[in-house]
């Protein structure tokens, strides 16, 4: 097993999939640039050239419609959005056409194997319109599958799975993850879509997390271990479909739940997880559910305000200590430095 960075794992998953399926092509803003979208499309462009990896104008809605048409005709498009915020311009095509394709035509119009990749989340100076995470909005609609790889291994595995699937799939990649490292198999192995992972086993508190917050939760869990608190971290990996069984089994084991997300809590992922616990694991809960997400306002631009705006490992650790009836005064300087430098 080798160690790869997140971006390298994404690149490898894409190339290995394109080697096996000539119908896969990649398009979107900057996919054929020398930077190759944090390097994730560079190798694919070098291997397969502009016939299968090519730039597109800033025409998100039209591009999505073109991609859907190509998918309906047997191709497997990968459409890339450097910022998921601009996917708002493509929502009509994604939600009213791609997501509903097999339902509206009763399965008589063939499959629609299209993959949308987009970058989400915070980064220094990104501001209100470039820092959003749209997974909860997209997961609201049946017909779309929404995945959030948190590790290099899943970045590769979920890419492979998405490009094997016959459904419209959205892959959301947090910009703070591209340089993290982890073990990644050289083999062409798909990560099952709709199956959560236990990132850390524990017995006292369950933390259900998405994307970057999986890593923040693991840092918090390590610190909480010093205080005698055993934390189980569940990486949901896929918001739609959602692996309810793994989440519920963990809640029933620990009796305590903290849901942590990269977006806002109202009508979001943390609300969905809290509702799941209330509906199907209420009698196992020993304490009220805690949700940790963004403050109820758009993202600020200045570094000092961003520092206050985004949840951190210390935020999670203090919440868990309070849940266990312990003081949070002893939590040290556990928050990692934000090494990302904007604007992209």
Residues 6+ apart with CB under 8 A from 249: none
Q: Catalytic annotation on 215?
A: no
Give the separation between CA 126 and CA 344, rounded to whole angstroms: 8
Closest to 187 (Cα-Cα) out of 16, 62, 341, 336 = 16
Q: How many CB atoms lie within 10 A of CB 75?
A: 16
End-to-end CA distance of the chain: 31
Closest to 293 (Cα-Cα) out of 261, 267, 316, 315 = 261
> HEC states along 185-249?
CCCCCCCCCCCCEEEECCCCEEEEECCHHHHHHHHHHHHHHHCCCCEEEEECCEEECCCHHHHHH
What's the Cα-to-Cα distance from 111 to each of 91, 132, 164, 232, 289, rounded to whole Å? 19, 30, 12, 38, 40
Residue of 81, 130, 135, 215 marked catalytic: 130
Helix or strand run (H / E) with residue 115:
strand 115-120
**In this structure, are strands 2-5 and 181-184 parallel, antiparallel, or unpaired?**
antiparallel
Catalytic machinery residues: 130
């Amino acid at each position: 097993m080798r160690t790869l960075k997140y971006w390298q794992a994404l690149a490898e998953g894409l190339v290995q999939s394109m080697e096996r399926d000539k119908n896969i092509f990649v398009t979107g803003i900057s996919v054929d640039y020398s930077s190759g979208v944090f390097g994730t499309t560079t190798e694919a462009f070098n291997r397969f050239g502009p016939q299968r990896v090519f730039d597109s104008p800033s025409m998100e809605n039209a591009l999505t419609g073109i991609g859907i048409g190509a998918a309906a005709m047997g191709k497997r498009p990968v459409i890339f959005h450097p910022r998921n915020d601009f996917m708002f311009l493509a929502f009509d095509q994604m939600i009213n056409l791609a997501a509903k394709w097999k339902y509206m035509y009763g399965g008589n119009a063939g499959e629609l194997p299209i993959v949308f990749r987009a970058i989400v989340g915070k980064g220094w100076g990104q501001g209100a319109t470039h820092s959003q995470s749209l997974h909860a909005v997209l997961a609201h609609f049946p017909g779309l599958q929404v995945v959030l790889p948190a590790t290099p291994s899943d970045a590769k595995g979920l890419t492979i799975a998405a490009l094997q699937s016959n459904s419209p799939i959205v892959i959301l990649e947090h910009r703070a993850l591209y340089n993290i490292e982890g073990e990644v198999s050289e083999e062409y192995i798909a990560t099952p879509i709709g199956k959560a992972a236990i990132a850390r086993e524990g017995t006292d508190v369950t933390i259900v997390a998405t994307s970057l917050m999986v890593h923040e939760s693991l840092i918090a869990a390590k610190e909480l271990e010093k205080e005698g608190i055993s934390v189980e971290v569940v990486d949901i990996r896929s918001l739609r479909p959602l692996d309810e069984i793994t989440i519920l089994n963990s809640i029933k084991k620990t009796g305590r739940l903290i849901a942590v997300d990269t977006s806002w809590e109202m009508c979001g992922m943390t609300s969905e997880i809290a509702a799941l616990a209330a509906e199907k694991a209420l009698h196992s809960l020993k304490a009220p559910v805690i949700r940790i997400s963004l403050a109820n306002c758009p993202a600020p631009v200045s570094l000092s305000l961003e520092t206050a705006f985004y949840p951190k490992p210390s935020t999670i650790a203090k919440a868990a200590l309070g849940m266990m009836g312990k003081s949070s005064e002893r939590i040290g300087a556990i928050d990692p430095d934000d090494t990302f430098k904007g604007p992209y």
